Amino acid sequence: MKKQLTALVAVAMMATVPLAASTTPAAAIHKQWHRGLATGIGVGVGLGIVNAITQPRQPQVIVQQPTPVYVQPAPQPVYGGYSQAHYNWCFANYRSYNAQTNSYLANSGVYRACNSPYD
């Protein structure tokens, strides 16, 4: 479509240039130095338009982001657990004691950490 439009504009311009060059108004005959000015301007503008239409476009730059690299997090430090005496004391004193979280359900409904004398 673009090439056809360019060709059509070029043909139309080429057809009008000789017509404009061949006709000279009667008032301009005495000024011979003005004879080719309008023709030159018309040809220059026409060639500039055709040149702008037919120039190739800049390639579209596609920036592709690199794939993210998964970095495994550092291992969590492992602390020594509580002694067996601590667990036995907490189980003996609190019926709702959970050894995995070292907490128990208090009468107020809030989970609290078990603090034994064997900490």
pLDDT digits (tens, 9 = 90+) for 63-107: 899 999 999 999 887 666 888 999 999 999 999 999 889 999 999
Task: Return phi, psi of residue 7, to 5°.
Answer: -65, -40
pLDDT of residue 71: 92
Among residues 108, 76, 115, the alpha carbon closest in space to that of 93 is found at 115
Among residues 59, 48, 65, the alpha carbon closest in space to that of 10 is found at 48
pLDDT of residue 24: 59
pTM of the model as a whole? 0.35
- Each residue of 15-51: pLDDT tens digit? 666 655 556 566 656 555 556 677 788 888 988 888 8
Residue with token string 């579209």: 60
